[in-house]
Amino acid sequence: MNPLSLYIHIPFCKQKCNYCDFASYAGKENLIEEYINTVINEIKHLRPTALSTVYIGGGTPSLIAPKYYEKIFKLLSIAPGAELSLEANPGTINQSYLKELKNIGVNRLSLGAQSFNDKHLEILGRIHNAKDIFKSFDDAQAAGFENINLDLIFALPNQTHNDWKEDLKQALSLKPQHLSIYNLQVEEGTKFYNIGDKLPRPTEDEEVAMFEYAIDTLKTAGFHHYEISNFAQPGFECKHNVVYWENGNYLGVGASASSHINGNRFDNPKTIEEYIKLTQLQNKVDLLGHKNQPDQKETIFMGLRLLDGLSKEKFKGYEKEVKELIDDGLLEQKDKIKLTHRGLLLANEVFKLFI
Amino acid sequence: MTQNSINNIRNFSIIAHIDHGKSTLADRLLEVTGTIEKRNMQAQVLDTMDLERERGITIKSQAIKMNYAAQDGNNYELNLIDTPGHVDFTYEVSRSLAACEGALLLVDASQGIEAQTLANAYLAMAHNLTIIPIINKIDLPGAEPEMVTEELETTLGIKKEEIIFTSAKEGRGMGEVLEAIVKRIPPPKGNADDKLQALIFDSRFDAYRGVIVYVRVFNGTIKPEMNIEFMGTRKKFEVQEVGSLKIDLVPSDKLTAGEVGYIIAGVKDVKDARVGDTVADANNRAEYPLPGYKPAKPMVFCGFYPVQGEDFKVLKDAIEKLQLNDAALFYEPETSAALGFGFRCGFLGLLHLEIVQERLEREFNLDLIATAPNVIYKVNMKNGKKIYVDNPTKMPSPADYDSIEEPCMKVTIFTPAEYVGNIMEICQNKRGTFLNMEYLDPKRVMLAYELPLAEVIIEFHDLLKSATRGYASMDYEIIGYQVSDLVKLDILINSEPVDALSCIIHREKAHYIGRALAKKLKKTIPRHMFQVPIQASIGSKVVAREDISAMKKNVLQKCYGGDVSRKKKLLQKQKAGKKRMKRVGRVDVPQEAFLAVLQIEK
């Protein structure tokens, strides 16, 4: 097995956010030790080599002591110049913690800022406030991080267009290398979902306006809008995530982590308890060992998320659909086939034709 | 005695309102006469279609022969010709009655006379049949035989002493009924040596034997190897087999005057052996055919379209097969710009429509789009011609006609007195004209209204039932065409007229219905990537407009490695929903939109 990218999932959180439907659990810190040991076992078994990217996501990876990551990294064979990312939540980290991470090799930090408005952070159920974001960002820079991402969410309950402008202004004042901008989606099984129609969300027109404002503002500030929700200073695009969008090979370890190797997909059990039994490991090894072709539909719908688009050859057999979408102004074809601005807002309508 | 003389034959039918126990009475008679042994008895033997058993109604007429040893020491051949009770099937009733000399008029002892009891009793009287009145279900706790006796006396002029009281369920009174059939119903008239005249009262297609023709012989004799001619269609065939109708077909050497039975003569197409036609001896033709009956006239029309265009062939075969046994079902191919290829079908009434649709979906596994039902209009053109329009799409431009006439009917409603107010309100809203009202007894009222058929076919029956807690019953008869101020309402979706949504409505209601329909469609049709205007127009005048705003955003924001499978499923689900819709121009329209006009609440 020769994967290029590795994802490690850390499903622990201090508190579940009101919008969150990921595999993350509060109040299970007693399982951390056993969980990390299982991750280590899984990695030992899978033996990934020549890793060009490693991404530790969550949950809240910054709840885990650096010594555990050190143990994991020792097992890995990491290629020179590899991108090693870790997600951290403001309010859970300090300068010495970040320094330790930096020392063991983490070179990209993703901060879950979400908003700079304390009221909105509270509504979201976050444990931090705006001050924590500034502090954590400064700490990260002081610890030597030169590639920092901020996550932001817009279209929050009761959020006005001006509130959103202010959030963006604060974020830009920190001069991050990367920004991920998400429209709030109310997913089944979340607290927001249970509130239902009573949740005071902006209208569709307002959401579009917020998204378009962000695109314009970040472009003016020199960011490269390279994926539907992602913006980077040139050269700071997230290499790990680009592997996903190019439908490349990646191995996922930990609860709920997904792998895609040689066209085969495998999802680990979602809960911590199920995962630590590690009963499906042999299935996983067997399945991922098959030689297969990546699914063309997935290659197209993931690939079109990259705003540079995809080469024409990838659309073989879908010429009729491509033409229809170009006629509707949702796709355009230059050297590559890519989403237009309108196609970006209606991307699902585009993707549907390839599913 | 094996050979019956004509004097020992009795042909009769049973007429009753739905649920008054007709099938149970028939079952009991079959049992008592030993036609069927009790242990082989499946409830309601004569209702052979699954649908008939489920809905508790008789759709097709059926005939069966019983042998009965009467108290006078003679053996009799009794032919029971079953008739459907529901108002939609009046035509089937009348053709059954034409083959009989008598009828058992069955009334439920607790319900009393209902709309269809009366309608069918009048029909039997019109055929000069001897009527044997029976009050059934006297075993029920709520039975009021005295009151029902009075009703029969006042409404139909029936003598008290003629009435037989029965409980078919418990088998009480069956002997009396059989004796009355023998004693009161006259034997058939006719001569076995005269020229052959036999009336076709039904026919059925059998995949192995061809068309099985059900006849009542009025004069002459019919035997195998004889050449016969159907006088109406002038088609000639050689008889292969004749016989009587028991639970199965039982071959015999001949059928003679007065008898009821079947003929198999290598007929391939039911249309050749038209119900109501007369069978004659091809080598010795009768001078005149028997008085037949008017062909069934479809009154209610709608379009049937397959949801999947490629199912058209299946639908075509299915309708053809159904029509083999349903002479009243009319169909012709039609093309809708919106729905593609389908059929315009004509029915005797709404129940008939529902049954055909259900049979198509159930027996042939089809997904159908049914357009809203409509009636047939008579249009008086400026050039003096009169044309009939069975599809709103075909209505000529107002500039080309002087007036439109619509079919009207006399609706008779039987109801407990306390609901009269509710019923009058419904009839008023349905453009009804009050005709008269009569108290059958202090608690029960008969109301008569004149109503446009178009108003009755749309939810009238449901409204009536819910306004009277299910107690009212109704019957109707077509009384002819009347000029009415009607207009064609067109619906445009995204500026394109959608023919399948056009309807003909009264001018006074046009604006209201136009607005309501546009609103309803706005709710039913999903958003598209562009704004979709929905307009209701009369001629070139737009009377209502609703806009389905354009979808501005539909994008999954967060999509990483772990999301691929889930998001793919989500997109597949969105796509599947779209596939079940009909694409009209650039707009995807769900099935239920085509019935939106039926769901407009007052």
Q: How far is A262 from chain B (nearest CA, A)?
A: 14
Percent of chain B with pLDDT over 70: 90
| B559 contacts on A by Cβ (under 8 Å) | 228, 244, 302, 305
What dihedral angle (degrees, nearest 10) is formed by the CA atoms of B337, B339, B344, B350? -130
Work out the number of other CB atoms within 10 angstroms of the CB of residue B43. 9
Output B442 or A190, whichever has higher pLDDT. A190
B295 pLDDT more than 70: no
Query: If DSSP codes are grouped into helix, strand and coil, which group holds residue B1?
Result: coil
**B531 contacts chain A (CB < 8 A):** no
Q: Do B552 and A211 touch (CB under 8 A)?
A: no
Mean pLDDT of the residues in chain A: 94
Q: Which of A194, A126, A112, A203 is nearest to A157 (CA)?
A: A203
> Please, where in chain A does CATH 3.20.20.70 lie?
4-245
**A321 contacts chain B (CB < 8 A):** no
Summarised one tens digit per residue, pLDDT across range B338-394 is 788 999 998 887 778 888 888 888 888 888 888 888 888 999 999 999 999 988 988
Summarised one tens digit per residue, pLDDT across range A151-171 is 999 999 999 999 999 999 999
B475 pLDDT more than 90: no
Which chain B residue has its CA at the smallest distance from A265's CA?
A: B565
Residue B164: what residue type? I
Summarised one tens digit per residue, pLDDT across range A318-344 is 999 999 999 989 999 999 999 999 999
A1 pLDDT more than 70: no
Select from 1.20.1630.10, 3.50.30.30, 3.40.50.20, 3.20.20.70 the CATH code of A4-245: 3.20.20.70
ipTM of the prediction: 0.88
Query: If DSSP codes are grouped into helix, strand and coil, which group holds residue A346?
Result: coil
> What tokens were used for B383?
């050039």
Q: How far is B562 from chain A (nearest CA, A)?
A: 5
Q: Report pLDDT for B570.
A: 87
| B529 contacts on A by Cβ (under 8 Å) | 328, 330, 346, 349
pLDDT band (50, 70, 90) for residue B602: very low
Mean pLDDT of the residues in chain B: 86
Q: Report pLDDT for B232.
A: 83
Q: What is the CA radius of gyration of chain A?
A: 20
Report the residue of B553, B570, B579 to disrupt the A interface, i.e. the one with the largest count of A CBs within 10 Å.
B553
Instruction: Report the interhelical angle of A296-303 vs B564-579 (nearest 10°).
Output: 100
| B435 neighbors B450 (Cβ within 8 angstroms) | yes
Q: Chain A to chain B, count of Cβ pairs less than 8 Å apart? A: 86
What dihedral angle (degrees, nearest 10) is formed by the CA atoms of A331, A332, A338, A342? -50
Backbone angles phi, psi at B2, to 5 degrees: -95, -35
Nearest-angstrom CA–CA distance, A293 and B113: 76
Count each helix (H run) and each strand (E run) in chain A, helices first.
15, 15
- Candidate from B551, B564, B565 with C-beta closest to A346: B551
Per-window interface: B 98-137 vs A, CB < 8 A: none
- Candidate from B558, B559, B561 with C-beta closest to A252: B561
Report the residue of A346, A350, A354 to disrupt the B interface, i.e. the one with the largest count of B CBs within 10 Å.
A346
SS3 string, B523-553, reads: HHCCCCCCCEEEEEEECCEEEEEEEECCCCC
Classify burial at B378, counting beta carbons within 10 Å of its beta carbon; exposed 0-12, middle 13-18, buried 19 or more.
middle
pLDDT band (50, 70, 90) for residue B49: low
Query: Structure pTM?
Result: 0.64
- Candidate from A182, A205, A244 with C-beta closest to B552: A205
- Output the CA–CA distances (angstroms, integers) from residue B24 to A214, A274, B43, B67, in the order listed: 77, 63, 8, 19
- Candidate from A241, A257, A347 with C-beta closest to B555: A347
- Candidate from A204, A243, A330 with C-beta closest to B553: A204
| B200 neighbors B293 (Cβ within 8 angstroms) | no
**B576 contacts chain A (CB < 8 A):** no
**A13 contacts chain B (CB < 8 A):** no
Q: Report pLDDT for B509.
A: 87
Percent of chain A with pLDDT over 70: 99
**A346 contacts chain B (CB < 8 A):** yes
Nearest-angstrom CA–CA distance, B336 and B499: 7
Q: Report pLDDT for A205.
A: 92
Most confident of the following: A50-59, A281-290, B14-23, B204-213: A50-59
Instruction: Report the interhelical angle of B115-126 vs B90-97 (nearest 10°).
Output: 40
- Candidate from B552, B560, B574 with C-beta closest to A244: B560
Summarised one tens digit per residue, pLDDT across range B174-230 is 999 999 999 999 999 989 999 999 998 888 888 888 889 999 999 999 999 999 999
**A297 contacts chain B (CB < 8 A):** yes
Q: Do A256 and B578 touch (CB under 8 A)?
A: no
- Residues in contact with B518: Cβ distance below 8 Å, sequence separation at least 6, in sequence order: B491, B534, B535, B536, B544, B545, B546
The residues that bridge with A153 in the sheet, in sequence order, are: A182
